[in-house]
Every structure is written in structure tokens, then in C-alpha cells.
Chain A
Amino acid sequence: MIESLRGKDLLGIKEMERDEIELILETAKSMEEIMSRDIKKVPSLRGKTVVNLFFEPSTRTRTSFEIAGKRLSADVINFTSTASSVKKGETLLDTARNIEAMKPDILVIRHSASGAPYFLSRKMNVSIVNAGDGKHEHPTQGLLDIYTLRKMRGSLEGAEVLILGDVLHSRVARSDIPALKKLGARVTVCGPSTLIPRWWQSLGVEATWDLDEAIRGKDIVIVLRIQLERMQSSYFPSIREYVKYFGLNRERFAKAREDAIIMHPGPVNRGWEISDELVDCEKSVVLQQVESGVAVRMAVLYLLSAVKEKTAL
């Protein structure tokens, strides 16, 4: 096992080595142990500052990072675009550099533009964590998903995973796919033919738009959130038709393996991409994912603050 991460940033799963992923998962285990204590706080990051720099609305991811930072005793500051100078026409780089000038140790960035944290990473010395960039990656979600799965079922070697829904626009899919594949799983994506990238082969997956066929024998089903705006821009004609062909319900889920697991990155549209009853069923690990999220983000913050070399790659 390696002892530290190689770069100053966590930008995407795609470019991570497996040993780095294993290090984060291993570290997250210790973090989870801390969370089970009566006093859920350790002094590891005392004196360190973490800034959540969110240019897109988010409550769960931001809260998760905030709790993660606070449990490690870091000072956590939230900066959201609505309460910022972004609307006054300041550039992304200027905003980020202004924050950097206040000497934070880690910037956690969410932005609606794919690649935004990569751009900032090249221009700045502070450690950057990608908390979701446009349609590109959401690496801590990928990590928390594989952490949750490891915990639930052990190894992912040879596991059959189905990712269901709007893969085209999903940063969760673009992080889950490499994360799962690096740990040995096989991934199939399924969704309306308009929402599966035309070049799905480049993601290293199988693709189909026949859910009833695709779900057979799957060990894991990751359901993605549908966004209403996709319907408005004609990616699919109606929620009704989406639910008919791609909604996950008990009948369809019965075709998966008996011990199959259901995941969803949230927030869930109950009754749309997944039926109300399935969200809460014993096979669903939706809340465990949220719980793992804090442990994994604690691990990421902890490990990045320990990276000695803070220069850009």
C-alpha cells in the first residue's frame, strides 16, 4: 500500500491509479470508525482551512464536505455563487485566486463547466478537490459508491453493474465507470438512446436501451436522476414514457440477481426513475451512500493535506 496520494489535487477518477483509490478506501475505513464514536471529531486537520467553492447549487455534497472537514477539525468556509461576486462579472480565475490569497489549504470546487477544476489546478498551487464539474466527473461520488459496494458485498472483481438513465449528461456515471472498472467490475449502461453517448465504447462499457434485457443477472444497479430540463429539450418525450421504459420498479428489479444492490446518487425523484417502494427497500443502499460520503471525503481531505509537493503537475 502506498502512503500518500501522488498529486496535490483530486480531479477525476479516470486519471487515478488503482493504488491511490485503494489508499483512499482504506483510509475511509478509519474515518468511518471515527464517525461511530461518541465524540466524532479528531484533531488531524487542526489549523487547516478548507473552502467549499460552489458555483452550482448543492446541499448534500457541500454539507458532506463541510461535515467531513469539521470532523477533522479543519476550519471550513462555504462560498457559494449566489452569495458571491460571480454575478458581478468576476472571472472564475479571479474568484479562485482571491480565495487562494487568503491561504486556504484545500479548495473544494463545484462548477457547471466540465474541466473547470482542471483549468484552476493548472493556475494555482492550492490543493483542489473536484466536487463535480459539469458533465465530466464527480470523483468523490465515484469513490463513495465503490466504498459502499465494497462494504456491502466485498470485492468488486467480476461484478456486473448496470448504470441506468441519463448517462450522456452524468458526471456520476463518468466517475462511477472508471472507479468500478479499476476495481474489476463490468459495466453496462442503459437509458433512452438519446441519453446514451453515441460513442459509449470510449467509456469502456456495454450499452443498450432494453432495460428488461440489460438488468438480467446484474449484481448492482445504479439509478441516475432524471432532470426535467432534458425532457424540455426533447431528449425524451415525457416522464410517463420514460417511466414506462426506464423506470426501475419491483417487477424489473426482480430480474436482477437475488442479492442485487440498488444505488442512487440523489436527490431521488420518487416514482420517476425509481419507484417509491424500491427507494426504501432492503436492497437499496441510498442512505449508506450518503454515510460513506462523509467518510470518503474525510479520507480525501486528510490525504491531500498530507501531500508534500504542492506544485502543479
Chain B
Amino acid sequence: MIVFRGGTVVDYESDTLDILDVFVEKGKIAKLARNDQFPAEGDFEIIDITGLHVMPGFIDLHSHLREPGYEWKEDIESGTKAAAAGGFTSVVCMANTDPVNDNPEITRYIIEKARKKGLVKVFPVASITHKLEGKELTDFGELLESGAIALSDDGKPVMNSLIMMRAMDYSKMFDALLILHEEDAGLSEGGCMNEGDTSAVMGLTGVPAVSEEIMISRDILLAEYTGARIHIAHLSTKRGIDLIRDAKKRGIRVTAETAPHYLTLTEREVLGYNTKAKMNPPLRKEDDRKALLEAIQDGTIDCVATDHAPHEELVKSCEFEEAANGIIGFQTAFPLLLEALEGGSDNIKTLVKLLSYKPALLLNIDAGSIQEKKSADLAIVDVNARYTFTEDMILSKSKNSPFIGWKMRGKVKMTVVNGKIVYRDNQVNDS
């Protein structure tokens, strides 16, 4: 038995923010006890975490582990190491691998590889359509039975509304979660940054906010019509938030995530043709950023996911319009979200809701809260640690982060998966 002693347990589900000792046995949380109730005797290893916070391990609803097919960018081993260092105990990986995760073989391959090489739990998402082409549905049932956690054509929209409606209708009999990348391919064509005054001055073709909003709008209407369960990926615009807020009021089964970079950066980051700030959806305007901050406080946005998208230097070291989209995010999510929530009431609990509780609820997995008999998946963090984020801290194979050099507050000290310490004080434990 391991006892994490003296830390402050933060749990959203049970509304806990209290100094409690966490007893871990056989991969589960055996007991939570007040310090004065500590047993005098027993066979346990004590780990003193006085001054630190114990949170349910973070769950990333949106990442790209790049395996199979793009192992030079990232693989399950390197990706889950970086995830562990970021406090993530579960990661959901998108289907845009090569080959695409559109058949049970690939799903099983990812699960098997993760079992052997993964440091944290890996939940593969299968694609909605074959090869992400938006034309023919994949075998939802078989994919889900093989272990796919949800369905998504992430990286590409399903442009054909009929195919989208079929996907929604068909998903209902499995109560599967459809994670939707919202973008109108026509409106986004050739775009490489947010359309606005900055793109006008820089002479770059823009992706207008309305490209995202029009598809959110379509899919809310389809979800209302079909009764399917949809989740809007990487929400980035103010009007998109309004659409979701309104849909939730009307009882439509829609949830949403945003990413830490949309809460901390704006399109100005692109000035100077900075490819490290190039992503899809693009960084938007200050008004959008502020609206996203409000939406994570008022609950319109259910979770924060990284959209961890590793890319090698080569595809970022080129003409801006040619550069690959995306940034890595596992190791910066926690401090960035902590900063984004600063000043809000109950900000630590809100953080746990966004990074742990809600993602577990959406995925329906045994995680996301610290309670007896639950899996011992923990992120033990120092909310006061101050440091500069440097490239040598990055455990991903790729280093494409716009946050290198940023002064951060909040550091993950220890990550525990099924009771095993997989990361501790800057060291991964992959034994």
C-alpha cells in the first residue's frame, strides 16, 4: 500500500478541497483519511506530499499520438511520456494516423501498443468515415467493440450533411460519442490564419470564424433532429460559444472543448509569419479569447483538451502558408489553464472539472474523481512552482510549441496511473 500524505485533495464530483491522506492499494484508491486518523501501524510506503495538491489524473479528450504512420513526429511511447509529465493519466488519440484508424485492426494495434509501451492509458478514437474522406461510414459497432472510445474525422469536417446525419442516426444505437471538427471546407479553402485585420495586413488568406460557426450550427441542428450525442472539438470562436450555450439550454446533447492555446494566445501571435502559432482552427481575436474564458467559467465549455499535435521542425521551418498545422500541448496544458482560470472563484476545482471530471463523464470511463474504489489515477501538482518552460523539458519527439520561453506557474510533480508512479520530479518511470 502507498500513502500520499499531507496533500490537498481536489475533487470536483464530491466537492472536496481538503487535506487528506490518499491510500492506494492494488491500483485503486483504498481510503481517504484525515491526517489525525493516520493508523499507527501497517505495511505502507509513505510519500510525503505536504504543500502539494492531489487531483484526479487529467484526461485529454483530444490528442494526436501519430502512431501508426508518423512515428518520426511522435509515437505512443514518447507521446504518453509527455502526457505523464503533463499530469495526464488518460489520453484520447485521434484517428488521422496512416493508415487511418478506420478499421478494428488499427484500433486493436493502438490498444496493444499502448498496453506494451504506453505510460498512461490510451483510448483510440476511430474515424467516422473511411480514410476520413467524408463519404462512407466506418463499422461503428465493430470499432467500438474493438475498443474505440468515440468516433471522429478530426482534422477534416464531414462536409456532406446527409453523411453527417446518417452518422448521427447510426451512432444512437451504440450511444457513441461523435467528436466533430467543425469547419466548412469551402470557406476555409487556402486559409492559413484567422481572417481579420491581421490577415489583411499580412497578405495571408484567412479562415473566417464563420467557417467554424456555420458547421457548429449545422451539427447542432442535426443533433437536435437525430437525438445523437455530439461533442464539438477545439472550439475557438465567440459566436460558436453562443450557439452551443443556446443548444444546451434547449436540451440538445452537445458538449464542447477548447484548447489551452485558444485561452492564452490570439492571432497576433502569427505576426512575423510565426509558424509555431499556426494551427487549425486558427488563433482568433481577443474578443474570442475573452468569450472562451467566460465559457469555461459558466460551463458552456465542458472540458479543455490539448489537441496535442506534434510536428517535426522541417514542416514548420518553411513558408507560412505551407507549414503544418498544430502545436504540442501535453506539458503546458496544466500551467496554462491554471493561468487562464486565475481570479475566478473555485478555480482549482474548475480546473479539475475541465481536465478530469467532465472528460471522464463524456467518455464514461473509471476516472476523473478521487473517491474510494476508483482507479488510483492521480496528478500531484505544485500550484505555486514558478519556472520558465524550456525546450529541454519537452518529452515529445517534436518541439513545436509557441510557449517555449514562457514563464509558467504550476508544475506537475507526480503522475500516478493505476497506483503506479509513472512520473516523478522530472523523471519518467517506464520500468
Chain B binder among A143-151, A193-201, A252-260, A302-310? A193-201
Beyond the given pairs A118-B272, A199-B196, 5 more chain A to chain B contacts, judged by CB atoms under 8 angstroms and listed by A's residue number, are A115-B204, A115-B273, A135-B203, A202-B198, A202-B201
B200 interface residue, CB < 8 Å from A?
yes
Q: A198-B195, A199-B196, A202-B197 are in contact. Are A119 and B203 (CB under 8 A)?
A: no
* CB-based contact B320/A114 at 8 Å: yes
Which single residue of chain B is at the shortest CB-CB distance from A123? B317
Cβ contacts A176-209/B at 8 Å (1 or 0 each) = 0000000000000000000001111111000000
Size of the chain B interface, CB-CB below 8 angstroms: 20
Residue of B nearest to A196 (CB): B200
Chain A residues numbered 161-177 whose CB sits less than 8 Å from any CB in chain B = 171, 174
Q: In chain B, residues 184-207, which have Cβ atoms closer than 8 Å to a Cβ of chain A? A: 195-205
B318 within 8 A of A: yes
> A92 to B319, Cβ gap below 8 A?
yes
Docked complex Cα distance between A202 and B268 (Å): 13
Please tell me the size bucket of the interface on A: 20 to 34
A116-130 contact mask (Cβ, 8 Å, vs B): 1 or 0: 101100010000000
Contact B203 A174 (CB under 8 A): yes
Cross-chain contact B202 with A136 (CB below 8 angstroms): yes
Write the chain B residue with the least CB distance to A200.
Answer: B200
The one of A14, A116, A202 that contacts B200, using a Cβ cutoff of 8 Å: A202
Please, how many angstroms separate the alpha-carbon atoms of A199 and B206 in the complex? Answer: 11
Decide yes or no whether A62 CB sits under 8 A from chain B: no
Can you list 30 A-B pairs, Cβ within 8 angstroms, ordered by A? A91-B317, A92-B319, A93-B317, A93-B318, A113-B321, A113-B322, A114-B202, A114-B273, A115-B202, A115-B321, A118-B272, A118-B273, A119-B273, A119-B318, A119-B319, A123-B317, A135-B205, A136-B202, A136-B203, A136-B204, A137-B203, A171-B203, A174-B201, A198-B195, A198-B200, A199-B196, A199-B197, A199-B200, A202-B197, A203-B201
> A133 near B: Cβ within 8 Å?
yes
Q: How far is the CA of A141 from the CA of B200 in the complex (A)?
A: 19
Q: How far is the CB of A100 from chain B (nearest CB, A)?
A: 15
| A71 interface hit (Cβ, 8 Å) | no
- B203 pairs with A133, CB closer than 8 A: yes
A134 within 8 A of B: yes
Asked whether, in the complex, the Cβ of A111 is within 8 Å of the Cβ of B319, the reply is: yes
- Chain A residues near B201 (CB, 8 Å)? 14, 174, 202-203
Q: Is B173 an interface residue (CB 8 A)?
A: no
A119→B320 contact, CB < 8 A: yes
- Closest chain B CB from A193 CB (angstroms): 14
Least Cβ–Cβ distance between A290 and chain B, in angstroms: 24
Residue of B nearest to A113 (CB): B319
Smallest Cβ distance from A138 to chain B, in angstroms? 10
Asked if B314 lies at the interface with its beta carbon under 8 angstroms from chain A, I say yes
B204 and A135 form a contact (CB under 8 A) = yes
Q: In the complex, which residues of chain B have a beta carbon less than 8 angstroms from the beta carbon of A202?
A: 197-198, 200-201
Using A136-B203, A137-B203, A174-B203 as known contacts, say yes or no to A114 and B321 having CB atoms under 8 A apart: yes
Task: Type the 1/0 row for A100-120, where 1 means its CB is closer than 8 Å to any CB of B.
Answer: 000000000001011110110
Whether A114 contacts B318 in the complex (CB less than 8 A), given A198-B195, A199-B196, comes out as: no
Give the distance to chain A from B185, nearest Cβ to Cβ, in Å. 15
Which 6 A-B pairs rank lowest in CB-CB distance, beginning with the nearest? A136-B203, A202-B197, A115-B273, A113-B319, A135-B203, A199-B197
A115 contacts B319, C-beta separation under 8 Å: yes
Q: How far is the CB of A312 from chain B (nearest CB, A)?
A: 12
Residues of chain A contacted by B318 (CB below 8 angstroms): 91-93, 119
Whole-angstrom distance from the CB of B199 to the nearest CB of chain A? 8
Minimum C-beta distance from B11 to chain A (A): 46
Q: Which residues of B contact A115 (CB under 8 A)?
A: 202-204, 273, 319-321
- A114 contacts across to B, CB distance below 8 A: 202-204, 273, 320-321
- Closest-by-CB residue of B relative to A168 is B200
**What's the minimum C-beta distance from A161 to chain B, rounded to whole angstroms?**
18
Provide the bound-state CA to CA distance between A133 and B321, in Å.
12
For the complex, give the distance between the alpha carbons of A171 and B204 in Å.
11
Give Cα A119 to B201, complex, Å: 17
Residues of B within 8 A of A134 (CB): 203-204, 321
- Nearest Cβ distance between residue B426 and chain A, in whole angstroms? 31
Q: How far is the CB of A297 from chain B (nearest CB, A)?
A: 21
Q: Are A203 and B202 in contact (CB under 8 A)?
A: no
Chain B residues near A197 (CB-CB < 8 A): 200
Q: Within 8 Å CB of A113, what residues of B?
A: 319-322
A14, B317: Cα distance in complex, Å: 24
Cβ B320 vs Cβ A201 within 8 A: no
Q: How far is the CB of B406 from chain A (nearest CB, A)?
A: 20
For the complex, give the distance between the alpha carbons of A293 and B398 in Å. 45
A14 to B203, CA, bound (A): 12
Bound complex: CA A197 to CA B201 (Å): 9
Determine the chain A residues whose CB is within 8 A of the CB of B314 once the complex forms.
Answer: 91
Question: Least Cβ distance of A167 to chain B in Å?
Answer: 9
Mark interface residues in B288-332 (1 if CB within 8 Å of A CB, else 0): 000000000000000000000000001001111110000000000
A118 to B314 CA separation, bound complex (whole angstroms): 17
How many angstroms between the C-alpha atoms of A91 and B323 in the bound complex? Answer: 12
CB distance from A99 to the nearest CB of B (A): 16
Assembly CA distance A10 to B205 (angstroms): 23
Contacts A114-B273, A115-B273 given: A203-B200 contact, CB under 8 Å?
Answer: yes
